[in-house]
Chains A and B, each alone.
Chain A
Amino acid sequence: MSTPAVTEPAVAGPPVTGRAVAGRRLTSFMPVIALVVLLAALTVADPGFLTLNSLTAAARTSAPLVVLAAGATLVVLCGGIDLSIAALCSLATVFFALWLPDLGGLTTVAVVAATAAIGAAQGVAHVLLRIPSFIVTLGGLSIFSAIALVISDAGPIRVVDRDVTHWLTLYVGGVVPMAFVVALLVVVVVSLVLRSTPLESWIRATGYSESAARLAGAPVDVVKVAAFTVSGACAGLAAIMLVSRNFSGSPTMADNLLLPAVAAIVVGGTAITGGHGSLWRSLAGALVVTLLRVGLPIVGVPSAYEQILYGAIIVAAVALTLDRSKVQIIK
């Protein structure tokens, strides 16, 4: 297996000193540090917040967001953006609710396959028609929302048969929510696949400098389509998680998860310009965003201040987590 000779730009920088190494270590920990600091702050605000139960609930809540953000991270790493994930996820909840009576246990597979195919189609449109990913997925966003509204008659569809999604509501060892375990598995598996194949270098190369990657012989187009496919599949999986806890599918169910997912990616320290970042970072970012979403109101922050705090903390977290030595251009 030949790995293209693509290196990260930062490696060619000034000689790495001991302090720089320590600094870099610290930066790579920043998303986790941000998470711990936030948790500590919430605990100070309400000592009752830091309990096993409430961490378990937060982990369960975070699962769909982790999966959505993980999938979209791949697209961001390639230097693109996928704005359609939330709308596709909503559409997938409708698919699930509509197909369940006919397909039974196969619905899960069918939904993930369908969203993967839709993701792939967006990727193909992006590379073949050479339309910016922003536009392709913005179009996707409105198309998927509209389809979801039409096929669902613009209302939620209840899922009465819960056997198929029951496994997602279980707890591993009585503590760790199964949905969160599945989300972790997605992050672990995708990360391992990237690391053990040339894919990681290809994705990074594409993100840092697409033309250089092409010259180096990286299959840029294939990599991009693959990234969109995984992103689509993740939207489908997130949809099943949402259905498992809401007992219904709805054409707007996940719509409000788009910005939190993008925030999760950026808060994790993945550069929105591509190249630098990882799924692990998005995992930490998604946990930070989830804690903000559910933690602030629960510890008693009034709703008006909640939005202000949310915005301020997101900006502060990005200031903390973004490794500027890896990202030369901030747009």
Chain B
Amino acid sequence: MKFTSRHTAAAIGVTLAAATLTGCTEEVGGGGPAAAAGACDPADITLVGQVRNESNPYEAAWLDGGDTFAEQVGLTQQRLTYDGDSTRQQEQISQLLAGDTECLVMNVLPNGDSDTPPIVEGAEEAGAYLVTQWNKPADLNVTDYDHWLSHITYDGVESGRQIGDALAEAIGGSGGVIALQGVLDTGAAKDRFAGFEESLAANPEVELLDDQTANFSRAEALEVTKTLLTKHGEDIEGIWAANDDMALGALEALEQAGRTDVAVVGIDAVPDALTAIEEGTMTATVSSDGPWQGGIGLAIGYCVATGELAVEDIADEDRAWFAEQFLIDQDNVADFVSPEITESDFACDNLFSRSQGAMS
């Protein structure tokens, strides 16, 4: 048994190390019930913004917006990213909530609907102030929680309709169009297409020649568009895409086919799309205003943490709401190329000014 002594030694070593570690630790915040809302000194507040990826321009702009708000109140924002990995997001959140949570404000983009419940419950238990955006299961009610302050999302039907109308106008109110759908299983793809169908109903002269999914992907959109261009040829006057990535893929296909007479619309306002709109190759897109999203979540949490706003005073329709989105075309694209943040957007009495109504 030559291993015995070595492993005993190892066990003792680990125990000693553990004892040393626990010896010099102390319980800080967290775990226990939260302090009453509004007890935080502004200087003690920790602001955290969490998105999927900084390499995504929209999400990087979101975090920059968070930084802007943090500067405005003399704090810094902790920027977290989880690479679109749900497991990693949960790990980060649980580690974060193990720290000092009494004055912790989190503005989180959950990776998917099903990632929201554990985040919400963790924050509720730890007493951290949480605002989520985009994704939440429909049957999870914000009003059932004290520390989940608000959930912000966007009305996909509205944005789908807005770009549908812009497309109809661009082709002069009549002509053939094709649609590139997103991942069919997502609420965003379904809602946006439903909005487009509303627009089609309002513009009877516009004919939908074909609709195919390109899974929100630029590469797939390129292939699908090539195929549809071959199939329908000159009949295609416009392309409706459920996001900008697909719109940009469609633009590439048009360029390869030497077509410059086709109007293309998308959603998300990614920088490449804005450039395309500036250059006139793309017609319109819709912006959710990433920098504002990054700031507003922190602002809501900050106002509640400092006591300027009580959770009970937030109206039920402001606990889960659709925020305003902006149609961008050649006329106003310059305003969005370098979006500016208005300080008054984040004032505690002005937090919900962009609400377009409660989530249905």
Contact = CB atoms under 8 A, between A and B. Distances in A.
Contacts of A248: 114-115, 117
Interface string B23-37: 011111111000000
Contacts of A302: 79
Interface stretch (A109-117, A150-158, A319-327): A150-158
Contacts of B87: 242, 246, 253-254, 256-257
Given A158-B114, A254-B87, A51 B98 contact: yes
Contacts of B118: 245-247
Contacts of A290: 91
Interface stretch (B14-22, B169-177, B271-279, B280-288): B14-22
Interface string B41-82: 000000000000010000000000000000000000011110
B9 interface: yes
Interface in A291-306: 293-295, 297-298, 300, 302-304
Interface stretch (A25-33, A138-146, A209-217): A25-33
B12 to A, nearest CB: 11
A256 B96 CA distance: 20
A246 B85 CA distance: 12
A29 B9 CA distance: 9
Contact of B79 (A195, A245, A246, A303): A303
B100 interface: yes
Interface centre among A195, A248, A253 (most CB of B within 10 A): A248
Interface centre among A154, A250, A297 (most CB of B within 10 A): A297
Given A280-B7, A294-B94, 15 more contacts: A48-B99, A49-B99, A51-B26, A52-B26, A53-B30, A58-B95, A156-B86, A157-B114, A158-B117, A246-B115, A250-B114, A256-B87, A280-B10, A298-B95, A302-B79
17 contacts: A29-B9, A32-B13, A51-B27, A51-B99, A54-B99, A57-B95, A58-B98, A61-B94, A156-B86, A157-B114, A158-B137, A253-B87, A254-B87, A256-B88, A280-B7, A295-B95, A298-B96
Interface of B: 3, 6-7, 9-10, 13-14, 17, 21-22, 24-31, 54, 78-81, 83, 85-88, 90-92, 94-100, 112-115, 117-118, 137, 185
